[in-house]
């Protein structure tokens, strides 16, 4: 007989990772990297929740509590992420939105994982108390680019860039943490998408969203329509057709746009629909970065039964040519993304 689940048997991120190790889905090195990222997110969540207060502290003496000049939360979050990854001892190279170049991690003693991350995406929203997030992806080091005992710094940097510029298809793990009404860590290791809500009372991420599946079709579109005039005619036709669904027998869509990728994506993942940041006449490749925004979000979307596309190709198939390369991103329910691709590729919108 199976043991009845005790009311207090919590599945935490830690026990979930141990289960995956038991099933040999991941090894304990990768589990250690993921745990170090979770620790970074706990710290960042706490900083975000106190941002206004610490800003007040910083303003009083023009210094923050550590006696340093008040730093922006982006920079502090970046340091928190880097410190946690370094102290895991399992990270070989890290690439961050906040660092021009990838960084080789000296403190590695076992496991050379490559971690790409945006430590605090949407941080312009912080002052208004609107949700922000961290986004991350984890790769194996590329086999031909070991950075072992490299002494030529130029060669070393080339290898570091090659280590991080891998197609999203190679991702071992992708995830984000949403700092909002709750701190929610959502991740995949290639076997579905799982969400963990942080419980500050016990300091643990508790499994709250087992095996997230995105609806096949939603009724929300999430685009910054302030850029409408800059869009291509096909992009305009797509949005117009969602606004006038009577033409194709559809139901009216709602528009929701937080202006914070992690918040807009998380709602799209749970409720369905589509989030898009198109290219436009000012920025043909749009605004979002392939390596640490579009690829991790596309892996999560696909693992939940959704899609991630540039409008013309699958995001996970793209091999980055540069660390901070931008691509247009359309991500969400299969129905809306397929429809968008057909309209952008010249098939007439109904």
Per CB under 6 A, residues contacting ligand P6P are 121-122, 124, 224, 259-261, 264, 287
Q: Which is nearer to ligand P6P, 26 or 174 (CB)?
A: 174
Burial status of residue 239 (CB atoms within 10 A of its CB: 0-12, 13-18, 19 or more): buried
Secondary structure (3-state) at 218: coil
Q: Which is nearer to ligand P6P, 260 or 333 (CB)?
A: 260
Q: Which is nearer to ligand P6P, 58 or 259 (CB)?
A: 259
Shortest gap between Cβ of 228 and ligand P6P (angstroms)? 12
- Least Cα distance to 164 among 110, 204, 116 occurs for 116
Q: Which is nearer to ligand P6P, 260 or 310 (CB)?
A: 260
Shortest gap between Cβ of 180 and ligand P6P (angstroms)? 13
Burial status of residue 110 (CB atoms within 10 A of its CB: 0-12, 13-18, 19 or more): exposed
Residue bearing tokens 């000049």: 69
Q: Which is nearer to ligand P6P, 120 or 138 (CB)?
A: 120
Residues in the chain: 350
Shortest gap between Cβ of 312 and ligand P6P (angstroms)? 20
Shortest gap between Cβ of 210 and ligand P6P (angstroms)? 27
Q: How many CB atoms lie within 10 A of CB 339?
A: 21
Shortest gap between Cβ of 118 and ligand P6P (angstroms)? 8
Q: CA Rg, the chain, in Å?
A: 21
Shortest gap between Cβ of 337 and ligand P6P (angstroms)? 17
Residue bearing tokens 């691709």: 341
Close Cβ partners of 331 (under 8 Å, ≥ 6 residues apart)? 265, 268, 274, 275, 276, 294, 297, 298, 301, 306, 307, 308, 309, 315, 337
Compute the distance between CA of residue 140 and CA of residue 102 in angstroms, rounded to an integer.
15
Shortest gap between Cβ of 287 and ligand P6P (angstroms)? 5
**Which phi and psi (to 5°) does residue 263 adopt?**
-65, -45
Q: Which is nearer to ligand P6P, 16 or 277 (CB)?
A: 277
Residue bearing tokens 């991500």: 331
Shortest gap between Cβ of 51 and ligand P6P (angstroms)? 16
Query: E strands, the chain, where?
Result: 91-96, 103-104, 113-121, 132-139, 173-179, 183-188, 193-199, 204-209, 220-222, 254-255, 274-277, 307-309, 329-332
Q: Which is nearer to ligand P6P, 70 or 224 (CB)?
A: 224
Q: Which is nearer to ligand P6P, 100 or 154 (CB)?
A: 100
């Amino acid at each position: 007989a199976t043991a009845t689940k005790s009311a207090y048997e919590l599945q935490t991120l830690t026990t979930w990772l141990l289960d995956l190790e038991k099933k040999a889905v991941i090894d304990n090195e990768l589990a250690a990297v993921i745990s170090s990222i979770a620790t970074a997110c706990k710290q960042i969540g706490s900083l975000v929740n106190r941002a206004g207060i610490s800003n007040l502290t910083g303003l009083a003496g023009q210094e923050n509590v550590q006696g340093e000049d008040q730093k922006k939360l982006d920079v502090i979050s970046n340091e928190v992420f880097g410190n946690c990854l370094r102290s895991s001892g399992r990270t070989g190279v890290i690439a961050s939105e906040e660092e021009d170049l990838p960084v080789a991690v000296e403190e590695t003693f076992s496991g050379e994982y490559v971690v790409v991350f945006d430590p605090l995406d949407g941080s312009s929203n912080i002052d208004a108390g609107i949700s922000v997030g961290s986004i991350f992806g984890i790769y194996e080091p590329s086999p031909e680019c070991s950075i072992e005992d490299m002494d030529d710094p130029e060669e070393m940097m080339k290898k570091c860039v090659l280590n991080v510029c891998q197609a999203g298809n190679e991702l071992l793990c992708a995830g984000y943490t949403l700092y909002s009404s709750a701190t929610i860590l959502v991740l995949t290791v290639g076997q579905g998408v799982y969400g963990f809500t942080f419980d500050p009372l016990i300091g643990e991420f508790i499994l709250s969203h087992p095996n997230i599946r995105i609806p096949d079709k939603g009724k929300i579109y999430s685009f910054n329509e302030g850029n409408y005039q800059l869009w291509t005619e096909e992009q305009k036709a797509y949005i117009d057709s969602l606004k006038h669904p009577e033409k194709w027998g559809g139901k009216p869509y709602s528009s929701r746009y937080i202006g914070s990728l992690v918040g807009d994506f998380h709602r799209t993942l749970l409720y369905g629909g589509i989030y898009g940041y198109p290219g436009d006449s000012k920025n043909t490749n749009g605004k979002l970065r392939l390596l640490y925004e579009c690829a991790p979000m596309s892996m999560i979307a696909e693992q939940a039964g959704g899609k991630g596309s540039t409008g013309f190709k699958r995001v996970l198939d793209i091999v980055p040519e540069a660390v901070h390369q931008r691509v247009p991103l359309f991500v969400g329910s299969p129905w809306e993304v397929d429809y968008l691709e057909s309209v952008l590729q010249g098939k007439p919108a109904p």
